[in-house]
Amino acid sequence: MDQLLVYAQKVWAFLTVSENAGAIQTIIAVSVIAWAIIKNPWNWFQKGKELAIPTTSTEHPIITLTLPQFEERIAKEISESEANLKTAHDTEKIQLLQKIEELRNRAAHPEEALQEARETITKLEDVLTREGNDIGEASMTEARKALEAGDFSIADDIFAEIEAREQLAVERAARAAFARGEIAQQEIRWTDAAKHYARAAQLHPTFEHLYSAREFAWRNGDYTKSIPLGTDLLEIAKVEFGETHEKYALALNEHALTLKATGKYDLAEPLYKQAIEITKQTLGENHPDYATRLNNLADLYLATGQYDLAEPLFKQAIEIFKQTLGENHPKYATSLNNLAELYRATGQYDLAESFFKQAIEILEASLGLDHPNTKTVKDNYKNFFENHP
């Protein structure tokens, strides 16, 4: 106990000496910290962490656009739109009138309109942050400042750049899908070809992509897909080439094939006729494509029992194929088969048999015994023997 008193006296003597003030302050500070850590070490650690490492702000952007500025802009836009209305064309007038009406609605409720604008600005800044990483910090900063002041033009340019860049990626993916379709077509995997062509048409609906997608959906008997694809093909052909172009005639013919296959003869017939007329004007009456379209219309008349309309068209197609492709060509043989089917339907069995035999002979020589077209005509000939008197 005596020793403890001696030690306490020495400490007090040290504390009361003025030149020891710095050391005294240090001792007191260390003691306070030590006591705080001993009392609640985890809370102290967390507080220290918060002080040492600044956190990232999650607050909304500071929007500098004020209500008076917003109202002034609306008034200016109304004035400019009303001035443009005097010289606008009919379509432009409709658009300007709609714009003026919306601007007046905003002017009538400026606080609500400004709040909506601010919410849009906040969303756009978020999208810029996520999608504009490779745009460049200077451009991004400029766009953010402009947005916060209510100017959307710079952000719009950036989004247009992003959109164009991503569209190129989509188009590359479409070309890759189309290439896979061509591979599947060469390998006679028609189901896979239809799938890949449809993917290409979905990603980038060009004429070529839609044409192949419709064709292979039709080949696979998937008419629920080939009909809308045919409609899209017609629309893009009209826009890209015009209604007097051979490509438009091709689109008409292809869509008519699907409509005929689904029994929509009344819808298919005018399309076939329109395609024939355009082909006549663009390619002439001595072109194989003209013969093909005559043959397709004749086949529709055969299916609907209009034999008197079908026969001259079949004969005309046969003659064109003979003159342009020769008598050993598969298309010439197919047209002979079609005429044979008509003669069977009308009871002219000798003519039917003769044309079937000619068609089979040409197809075996040109395509081979195992080709699907050869087998089809042989099946038709076999069916002819089994069913005619």
Contact residues for 308 (Cβ-Cβ < 8 A; gap 6+): none
* Residue 326 exposed, middle or buried by CB count within 10 Å (0-12, 13-18, 19+): exposed
Cα separation, 150 vs 67, whole angstroms: 11
CB atoms within 10 A of CB 73: 16
Q: Which residue reads 């292979």 in tokens?
A: 216
Q: Are 214 and 254 in contact (CB under 8 A)?
A: yes
Which amino acid does the sequence have at 277? E
| Alpha-carbon dihedral angle through residues 219, 224, 226, 227, given to the nearest 10 degrees | 140
Confidence (pLDDT) at 388: 62
Confidence (pLDDT) at 164: 83
Cα separation, 195 vs 218, whole angstroms: 12
What's the whole-number average pLDDT of the chain?
81
> Which tens digits make up the pLDDT trace of 224-237?
999 999 999 999 99
* Residue 152 exposed, middle or buried by CB count within 10 Å (0-12, 13-18, 19+): middle
Of residues 237, 234, 249, 323, the one with CA closest to residue 280: 249
Cα separation, 292 vs 284, whole angstroms: 13
pLDDT below 70 — which residues of the chain?
1-62, 133-134, 385-389
Tokens at 52, concatenated: 């040492």
| pTM tops 0.75, yes or no | no
Of residues 325, 266, 273, the one with CA closest to residue 298: 273
* Residue 230 exposed, middle or buried by CB count within 10 Å (0-12, 13-18, 19+): buried
Confidence (pLDDT) at 62: 66
> Which tens digits make up the pLDDT trace of 64-116?
888 888 888 889 888 988 899 888 888 888 888 888 888 888 888 888 888 88
Cα separation, 106 vs 97, whole angstroms: 14
Annotated domain spans of the chain: 2-52, 67-151
